[in-house]
Chain A
Amino acid sequence: MKIAGIIAVTIIFVIVMLSFDPSGSIPRPIEQIVERVNVPNAVTSVYLEARLYDTIFEIIVFTVTALGVAALLASLPVNIDEGQQVFGTVTVYSGGLAALSITLFLYVVINGHITPGGGFVGGVVLATGVITYGLTSSFKKASLHYDMLKIGVFEKISFVLIFALSTLIILLPETHSQLLSEAGFGSTFSGGFIPILNILIGIKVYAGAWKMSSEFISRRGTL
């Protein structure tokens, strides 16, 4: 049975490879995209203005998955930590790296329409920095910031605001062009609604990734 499956899969993939025609017509849509939104980074303007529907549904899927992971892991017992194994040389500069990742998050998210970056990249970078600090220095200190800074409240506010702003942009398609004529091409304030949306998406992705990873670490114990 398994050998028949393997042969069938190989034949299908070989047929796909042979039927790929590399001499089709090559699309070049970048002129129209940049003229429409007037922002240097074409990728950010694609997923935040031309294909805004896909971004909205991606955020819904991400939220539901984070809720599912938190609800399913609640049935396991919390691991009582006797002491975390740390190496002295790594603990010294892990705090500095966490602070550096916060700065990098702000730069990547606010300048998402000029340099490569955007909301998704910034959120994941900040989550990686904070989790690495928690694993090398002390996980208790890293998990205190979630309640102290009230990130749960900010996550829900940003979820509602993303929906409100995207409804506004889809219903009134002239909003971008009215805000964009303020500053010149390629400066920080010339993005219209794009930096605001990037910041909200960054907060949402960071909160989701942090919740999923911290549930894993607190139930299974640190390394």
Chain B
Amino acid sequence: MTGTIVIYFSILGMLVGTIGMILSKDLIKKILSLGIVETSINLMYTGISARSGIIPPIVSGDFSSAFYADPIPQAVIITGIVISFALLCLSLVFAIIIYNRYHTMNVETIEMIFEREKQ
């Protein structure tokens, strides 16, 4: 029951993040919305792991009579969090390079400068 509630809320969080990526006009806000989507995905995986129970999967002694959480999605998402931090650093480096060259963070202005430079 608790796992299902967390899964529903995390899907709503993904919806908020995706709408933010479409509607925002600032480059930094777009990267922040991508971070919202990734945090919601991490939450969804722990929600899937909580369907088998909410006791942490650290066993001690006799363990056949309690409902432990599922350890496989948790192991998969720990590496995912570190990778998402590395990719965030890379995209921020690109944002800094674009700002140094075009002196603005507005997406529509950058597109206009691209059109002008092509001619």
Contacts and interface: CB of A to CB of B under 8 A. Distances in A.
Interface of A: 2, 5-6, 9-10, 13, 16-17, 20, 22, 26-31, 33-34, 40-44, 46-47, 51, 54-55, 58, 61-62, 65-66, 68-69, 72-73, 75-76, 114-116, 118, 120-121, 124, 186, 205, 208-209, 212, 216, 220
A46 B100 CA distance: 45
Majority DSSP secondary structure for residues of B touching A:
helix
Given A30-B57, A40-B60, A205-B82, A9 B72 contact: no
B79 A120 contact: yes
B75 interface: yes
Q: How large is the interface on B (under 10, 10 to 19, 20 to 34, 35 or more residues)?
A: 35 or more
Contacts of B70: 27-30
B22 A43 contact: no
Nearest to A5: B22
A41 B14 CA distance: 31
Contacts, number: 122
A131 B108 CA distance: 36
Interface of B: 4, 7-8, 11-12, 14-15, 18-19, 22-23, 51-52, 56-60, 63-64, 68, 70-72, 74-76, 78-79, 81-83, 85-87, 89-90, 92-94, 96-97, 100
16 contacts: A6-B19, A6-B23, A9-B15, A13-B12, A16-B11, A20-B4, A34-B63, A40-B60, A44-B75, A54-B79, A58-B83, A66-B86, A68-B90, A115-B58, A116-B58, A120-B81
Contacts of B94: 72
Contact of A120 (B23, B51, B78): B78
A51 B93 contact: no
